Amino acid sequence: MHSSVQALPYSWPLLGLGGRVKHEVDVKAAGWLHRIWINLKVALADGSEHTILVECLRVNDMILAECKSALNEPLPLPVRQQITSQIETIRRIYRRVAGALGIAI
């Protein structure tokens, strides 16, 4: 996973199953830049909740794509189950955020 440091917590359970985070330094740098980007967007939008929620949806889309991509790889069953569980969690979060924005899914 490399799209955001927000993806890093999703990697932690996999580390216990023998997995590893690709390019952890890049992940941390991406997270740092993403936080700066969000702060800038919020400042320009006068702290708009809508702006923050839209960005949450965008990040969830990226993390979901990474998880789905991982499922295309040959994986041990426990790792596959963990990623599948994470996908369901991400989808629940997505539905909640979309609902807060009044977006029907």
Q: Which pLDDT score, from 0 to 100, does residue 9 have?
A: 53
Q: What is the pTM of this model?
A: 0.61
What is d(CA 86, CA 1) in angstroms, rounded to the nearest whole number?
13
pLDDT in tens, the chain (105 residues): 334 444 445 555 555 555 555 555 555 677 777 777 777 777 777 667 888 888 888 888 888 888 888 899 888 888 888 889 989 998 998 899 899 888 877
What is d(CA 77, CA 79) in angstroms, rounded to the nearest whole number?
5
Q: Which pLDDT score, from 0 to 100, does residue 55 have?
A: 80
Task: Break the chain into its structural domains and give their ranges.
Answer: 5-101
Q: Which pLDDT score, from 0 to 100, does residue 105 have?
A: 74
- Other CB atoms within 10 Å distance of the CB of residue 23: 11
Task: Count Cβ atoms within 10 A of the Cβ of residue 42 and give its class: 0-12 exposed, 13-18 middle, 19 or more buried.
Answer: middle
Q: Which pLDDT score, from 0 to 100, does residue 88 have?
A: 92
